[in-house]
Chain A
Amino acid sequence: MIQYLIIMLDDTSRSFCHYPDYKGPRNLIPLSTLRAGIVYAMKENLSLQFLYPDYQLPKEYIKAINKIDHIDIAANHDADVVICDSIPPADAMVDKTLVFRFTVDALASSIDSLCELLRTALKVNVIITDMAPVSESSFLLYKNSLRKIADAVTELIISGKIPQLNILTDRINLTAMNNCNAGWHCVTLAPDGCFYPCPAFYFKRIYSIGNLKDGVKAPNAQLFTLPYAPICRKCDAFQCKRCVWKNYIETGEVNIPSHEQCVISHLERNASVQIIKSINSRGFTWDVLPINETSYLDPISLLDVC
Chain B
Amino acid sequence: MELQANKAPFREIPGGWQAGSSKSITFIVTKDCQLACKYCYLVGKNTSERMSFDVARSATDYILSMEKDPLFAFESVIWDFIGGEPFLEIDLIDKICDYIKCELFRLNHHWFNSYRFSFSTNGINYASEKVQKFIKKNLDHLSIGITIDGTKEKHDLNRIYKRQDNEQEHGSYDDVVKNIPLWLSQFPDGGTKVTISSNDIPFIKESVLHLYGLGIHDVSINCVFENVWKDGDDQLLEKQLIELADTIIDNELYKDFACSFFSETIGKPLDPENDNNNWCGAGKMLAIDAAGNFYPCTRFAQYSLRNKCARIIGNITEGINRNKVRPFLCLTRTDQSRLECIECDVASGCAWCQGENYDSADSDTIFQRSTAICKMHKARVRANNYYWNRLYFKENNK
Interface of A with B (CB < 8 Å)? 132, 206-207, 218-220, 223, 228, 230-231, 250-260, 300, 303, 305-306
Contact, CB under 8 Å: B322 / A220 = no
Once the chains bind, are B329 and A253 in contact (CB under 8 Å)? no
| B19 within 8 A of partner (CB) | no
B324 contacts A252, CB within 8 Å?
A: yes
B329 engages A252 (CB within 8 Å): no
Bound Cα distance A254, B368 (Å): 13
The docked-state distance in angstroms from the alpha carbon of A226 to that of B178 is: 57
Q: Which of B132-140, B167-175, B359-367 contacts A (4 or more CB under 8 A)?
A: B359-367
Task: Provide the residues of chain B in CB contact with A256, threshold 8 Å.
Answer: 326-327, 330
In the complex, are the beta carbons of A230 and B323 less than 8 A apart? no
Closest to B311 in A: A252
Most buried by B among A207, A228, A251, A258: A251
Contact B332 A259, beta carbon cutoff 8 Å: no
Inter-chain CA distance A6–B331, complex, in Å, is 32
Given contacts A220-B361, A252-B311, A306-B70, whether A259 and B367 have CB atoms under 8 Å apart is no
The bracket for how many chain B residues form the interface is 20 to 34
Q: How far is the CA of A255 from the CA of B367 in the complex (A)?
A: 9
With A230-B335, A250-B323, A306-B73 known as contacts, the answer to whether A300 contacts B363 (CB < 8 A) is no
Residues of B within 8 A of A306 (CB): 70-71, 73, 284, 329
Chain B 67-111 interface mask (CB, 8 Å, partner A; 1/0): 000110100000000000000000000000000000000000000
From DSSP, what is the main secondary structure of chain A's interface residues? Answer: loop
Q: Lowest 7 A-B CB distances belong to which pairs?
A: A219-B362, A305-B329, A230-B330, A219-B363, A253-B327, A306-B70, A256-B327
State whether A251 touches B326 (Cβ < 8 A). Answer: yes
What's the minimum C-beta distance from B67 to chain A, rounded to whole angstroms? 14
Interface CB pairs A-B, < 8 A, 26: A132-B323, A207-B364, A219-B362, A220-B361, A220-B362, A223-B365, A228-B335, A228-B367, A230-B332, A231-B330, A250-B323, A251-B324, A251-B326, A253-B367, A254-B365, A258-B323, A258-B326, A259-B322, A260-B323, A300-B326, A303-B329, A303-B330, A305-B330, A306-B71, A306-B73, A306-B284
> Residue of B at shortest CB range from A258?
B323
Closest CB-CB distance, B277 to chain A, in whole Å? 10
With A251-B324, A257-B326 known, 9 other A-B pairs at CB within 8 A are A207-B363, A207-B364, A219-B361, A220-B368, A250-B323, A252-B364, A255-B367, A256-B330, A303-B329
Cβ–Cβ contact B330 & A300, under 8 A: yes
* Measured CA separation A228–B339 after assembly (Å): 13
B327 contacts A251, C-beta separation under 8 Å: yes
In the complex, which residues 319-345 of chain B have their Cβ closer than 8 Å to any Cβ of chain A?
Answer: 322-324, 326-327, 329-332, 335
**A261, closest chain B residue (CB):** B323
- Contact partners of A252 in chain B: CB under 8 A: 311, 324, 327, 364
By a CB distance below 8 angstroms, the chain B residues around A207 are 363-364
**Chain B proximity of A127: nearest CB distance (Å):** 19
Chain A residues with Cβ below 8 Å from B368 are: 220
Residue of A with least CB distance to B332: A230
Name the residue of chain A whose CB is nearest to the CB of B322. Answer: A259
Q: C-beta contact mask, B351-371 vs A, less than 8 Å → 1, else 0?
A: 000000000011111111000
Report B-chain residues with C-beta under 8 Å of the C-beta of A255: 327, 367
Which chain A positions have C-beta within 8 A of B327? 251-253, 255-256
Q: Hey, which chain A residues are within 8 Å of B71, CB to CB? A: 306
A254 neighbours in B (Cβ, 8 Å): 365
Contact between A253 and B365 (Cβ–Cβ < 8 Å)? yes
Give the residues in chain A near B364, CB-CB below 8 Å. Answer: 206-207, 252
Q: Which residues of B contact A231 (CB under 8 A)?
A: 326, 330
Q: CA separation between A256 and B327, bound complex, in Å? A: 6
Chain A residues lying within 8 Å of B361, measured Cβ to Cβ, are 219-220
Minimum CB–CB distance from A68 to chain B (whole Å) comes to 31
- Provide the residues of chain B in CB contact with A260, threshold 8 Å: 323
B47 CB to closest chain A CB, in angstroms?
A: 30
C-alpha spacing A257/B329, complex, angstroms: 12
Residue of B nearest to A206 (CB): B364
A contact residues around B366 at 8 Å (CB) = 253
Is the pair B323, A300 in contact by a Cβ cutoff of 8 Å? Answer: no
Rounded to whole angstroms, the CA-CA distance of A206 and B308 in the bound complex is 13
Residues of A within 8 A of B70 (CB): 306
Q: Which of B284, B326, B335, B365 is within 8 Å of A259, CB to CB?
A: B326
Q: Are the C-beta atoms of B330 and A220 separated by less than 8 Å?
A: no
Report the bound CA distance from A231 to B330 in whole Å.
7
* Docked pose: A106 CA to B362 CA in angstroms: 40
